[in-house]
Amino acid sequence: MVAVARPLPATYQLPTWLRPWLRAKLVVGGAIVVLLILLGLLGPAIAPYDPNAMQLRDATRPPQWFGGPHFFGTDNLGRDILSRLLHGARVSLIIAFTVVLISGALGVTLGAISGYFGGKTDFLIQKLVEVIWAFPSLLLAIAILAYLGQGLQNLILALVAQRWISYCRIVRGESLSLRNREFVTAARVIGAGHARIIWRHVVPNIIPSSLVIGTFSMATAIIAEASLSFLGLGVPPEIPTWGTMLGDGRNYISTAPWLTIFPGLAIFTVVLGINLLGDGLRDALDPRRKKATMEL
């Protein structure tokens, strides 16, 4: 009896729709963002100490790692740095997501209306964009906070004041091309109103680009919050943030560098992860890049 050789099984290939989502940038950036979300949700529960509890006898203790009670050391007032970092992650998470949601909703709405209607409506909205865009974003935020005072709500308002513009400009350009497409014309012919056409036919087609803008906006919001808190114009001093920690430690950078190293590393890591996630989403959601990936 002659033995018949069986054919070797074909090499397993990933599904076509999954390949664009397995880029290194998406995986690494997504992991960092998920870690930020987990720290923001669970950080206060797992923090070993009260972030505002002061022990002046333990001031400026160096990092003790696993050999002492203060893993990352203490600041100039004896407060535990690890606990303040974990509580600061929640503040950064709240600010980043709130700023993205509010500015995204405002910018997408105005951009879709501006591009769809055109004419005088487009002219007025774009003039508003040009007026606000003329102010440097950080100076505009400083002016708003100087007038309204410190507070989480005022800080979010100051950050939203100009960040909706990037959504508006990109969405307007896409809406200008979408309003003359066949499916929009067909909806208009069968009697659909302007509001229905915008929300059912225009907005769903601009969601991918809005998601990409949103990820990069999260990174800039965290940097802006840290900058304003560093200057003493962010949230009240009793709320620990990474920017406040940098501001408190700048006078001790030569004698106690860990006061600024750890919050600086936290900001750097989170911003890097969000930018990697945004870059990966842009590659995955761009039809031309997605097609090139699928052909590999």
> Per the structure, how many domains does the chain have?
1
Domain contains 12: no
Domain contains 9: no
- What are the DSSP calls for 129-182, one per residue? HHHHHTS-HHHHHHHHHHHH-S-HHHHHHHHHHHHHHHHHHHHHHHHHHHTTSH
Residues forming beta bridges with residue 80, ordered by sequence position: 74
Domain contains 53: no
Domain contains 55: no
Domain contains 32: yes
* Neighbouring residues of 150: CB distance < 8 A, sequence distance ≥ 6: 233, 234, 235, 236
Domain contains 218: yes
* Neighbouring residues of 128: CB distance < 8 A, sequence distance ≥ 6: none
User: What per-residue confidence (pLDDT) applies to 149?
Assistant: 86
User: What per-residue confidence (pLDDT) applies to 18?
Assistant: 61
Along the 296 residues of the chain, how does pLDDT read in single tens digits?
455 555 545 454 656 656 666 778 888 888 999 998 898 888 888 899 999 989 888 888 899 888 888 899 999 889 999 999 999 998 888 888 999 999 999 999 999 999 999 889 999 999 999 999 988 888 899 999 988 888 889 999 999 998 999 999 999 988 988 888 888 888 888 888 888 888 888 888 888 888 888 888 898 999 998 888 888 888 888 888 898 899 888 888 888 999 999 999 999 999 999 999 888 888 777 655 554 444 44
Domain contains 17: no
The answer to whether 40 and 94 have CB atoms below 8 angstroms apart is: yes
Three-state DSSP at 80 gives strand
Domain contains 6: no
User: Domain with 200 in it: what CATH number?
Assistant: 1.10.3720.10
Instruction: Give residue 139's domain range.
Output: 22-46+73-294
Three-state DSSP at 74 gives strand
User: What per-residue confidence (pLDDT) applies to 194?
Assistant: 85
Task: Give the integer Cα–Cα distance in Å for 276 and 124.
Answer: 35
Buried b / exposed e over 140-162, threshold 16 CB at 10 Å, is: bbbebbeeeebebebbbbbbbbb
